[in-house]
């Protein structure tokens, strides 16, 4: 697949923490079977970003969109993740890596959370 998406989260020792991210990944796969989708984690979980990206590139991905699954843009999203993406670009120079903003910076997500809060 030429196009791929990595849902990137912090990670946790609690396996139930992964369920929402994996559910988003499953829905994305069902809606867009032509797009390869992986979850990746900064720490405490596997795979890490480099492993997920390498797997996708080995499968033929030439454009990889990385979506930070963070509500806010803290140090991990501001500093750690851009560094990891630069390392990916150096390791895979023929692949376009697109780093999106954290999901919590999207007004649509914030509107939905506000709507849910009022239910």
Predicted structure pTM score:
0.93
* Other beta carbons within 10 Å of 48: 16
- For position 1, what pLDDT does the model report? 61
DSSP state of 38: E
Do strands 3-9 and 63-68 pair parallel, antiparallel, or not at all (unpaired)? Answer: parallel
Q: Which percentage of the chain shows pLDDT scores above 90?
A: 86
CA distance 96 to 61: 9
CA distance 114 to 40: 27
Hey, what are 49's tokens?
Answer: 């970003």
* Domains in the chain: boundaries: 3-117
- For position 74, what pLDDT does the model report? 76
CATH, range 3-117: 3.40.50.1400
Give the SS3 label for residue 63.
Answer: strand
Per-residue pLDDT tens over the stretch 24-80: 999 999 999 999 999 999 998 999 999 999 999 999 999 999 999 999 877 877 788
- For position 80, what pLDDT does the model report? 87
């Amino acid at each position: 697949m030429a196009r791929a998406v990595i849902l990137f989260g912090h990670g946790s020792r609690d396996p139930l923490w992964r369920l929402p991210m994996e559910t988003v990944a499953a829905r994305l796969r069902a809606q867009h079977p032509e797009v390869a989708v992986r979850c990746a984690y900064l720490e405490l979980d596997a795979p890490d970003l480099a492993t997920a990206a390498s797997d996708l590139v080995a499968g033929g991905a030439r454009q990889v969109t990385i979506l930070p699954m963070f509500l806010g843009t803290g140090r991990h999203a501001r500093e750690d993740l851009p560094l990891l993406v630069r390392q990916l670009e150096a390791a895979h120079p023929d692949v376009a890596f697109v780093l999106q903003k954290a999901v919590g910076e999207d007004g649509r997500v914030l509107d939905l959370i506000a709507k849910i809060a009022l239910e």
